[in-house]
């Protein structure tokens, strides 16, 4: 691919998201769309001892439709601690959790972001750095329904839209002894299990 890519700003996006990032010289992250519920914009999927687990960031509700840029995080309950404990239960025994732990812990134990995009952008920037993904990321300045010279991924980043055109090779997951291989989970599943080999895995994904 030679065109640019248009992406939603996600919370620990699935592996396919970062595969697609690799396919474009420049990727635009969408700041001005309306917030879309039940997508990876405020949730991710990890592999827990009991199978796939959804982690969702609670959002402050408003009467009118709000843009993603204006979407605020709710802190009525301590979702940060719940997410961190879930990540520990899922990945504490993985090969690379302790290696990356200090990078992620502050987002759950110390920092608080008012807006969803602030948190997700910071996490996305960190993941791109840790995996060493060679991509130029820019933020959109306005909403375009059909971006010119750009592949649009904004509508497909949802747990309900499983990519059928990608071949995800199995890798050893923490609970491989009790669950079959679960593909296209949060990028954290790949990072904690594969560590520095994550970039090679992403480059090795084949389109079918």
Detail the DSSP E strand segments found in 51-187: 51-56, 136-139, 150-152, 166-167
pLDDT at 157: 87
Task: Report how far residue 13's alpha carbon sits from residue 197's, in angstroms, rounded to the nearest whole number.
Answer: 18
Task: Report how far residue 168's alpha carbon sits from residue 102's, in angstroms, rounded to the nearest whole number.
Answer: 28
pLDDT at 27: 96
Task: Report how far residue 7's alpha carbon sits from residue 203's, in angstroms, rounded to the nearest whole number.
Answer: 19
**pLDDT tens over the chain, length 208 residues:** 558 999 999 999 999 999 999 999 899 999 999 998 889 999 999 999 999 999 999 999 866 678 899 999 999 999 999 999 999 999 999 999 999 999 999 999 999 999 999 999 999 999 999 999 999 999 999 988 988 889 999 988 888 887 889 999 999 999 999 999 999 999 999 999 999 999 999 999 999 8
CB atoms within 10 A of CB 69: 18
pLDDT at 195: 98
Task: Report how far residue 30's alpha carbon sits from residue 141's, in angstroms, rounded to the nearest whole number.
Answer: 8
pLDDT at 63: 60
CA-based nearest residue to 20, from 205, 146, 164, 188: 205
Is residue 146 classed as helix, strand or coil in its secondary structure? coil
Residues 6+ apart with CB under 8 A from 201: 169, 171, 190, 194
> What pTM was estimated for this model as a whole?
0.95
CA-based nearest residue to 79, from 54, 96, 99: 54
Contact 11, 40 (CB under 8 A): yes
């Amino acid at each position: 691919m030679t065109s640019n890519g248009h992406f939603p700003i996600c919370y620990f996006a699935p592996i396919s998201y970062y595969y697609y990032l690799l396919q474009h010289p420049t990727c635009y992250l969408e700041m001005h769309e309306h917030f879309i519920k039940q997508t990876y914009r405020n949730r991710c999927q990890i592999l827990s001892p009991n199978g796939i687990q959804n982690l969702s960031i609670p959002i402050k509700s408003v009467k009118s439709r709000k843009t993603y840029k204006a979407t605020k995080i709710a802190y009525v309950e301590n979702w940060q601690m719940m997410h961190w404990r879930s990540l520990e239960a899922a990945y504490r025994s993985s090969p690379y959790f302790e290696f990356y732990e200090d990078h992620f812990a502050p987002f759950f134990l110390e920092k608080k972001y008012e807006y969803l995009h602030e948190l997700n952008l910071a996490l996305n920037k960190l993941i791109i750095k840790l995996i060493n993904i060679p991509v130029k990321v820019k933020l959109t300045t306005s909403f375009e329904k059909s971006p010119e010279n750009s592949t649009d991924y904004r509508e497909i980043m949802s747990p309900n839209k499983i990519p059928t055109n990608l071949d995800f090779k199995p890798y050893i997951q923490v609970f491989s002894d009790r669950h079959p291989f679960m593909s296209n989970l949060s990028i954290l599943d790949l990072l904690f299990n594969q560590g520095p080999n994550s970039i090679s895995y992403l480059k090795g994904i084949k389109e079918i």
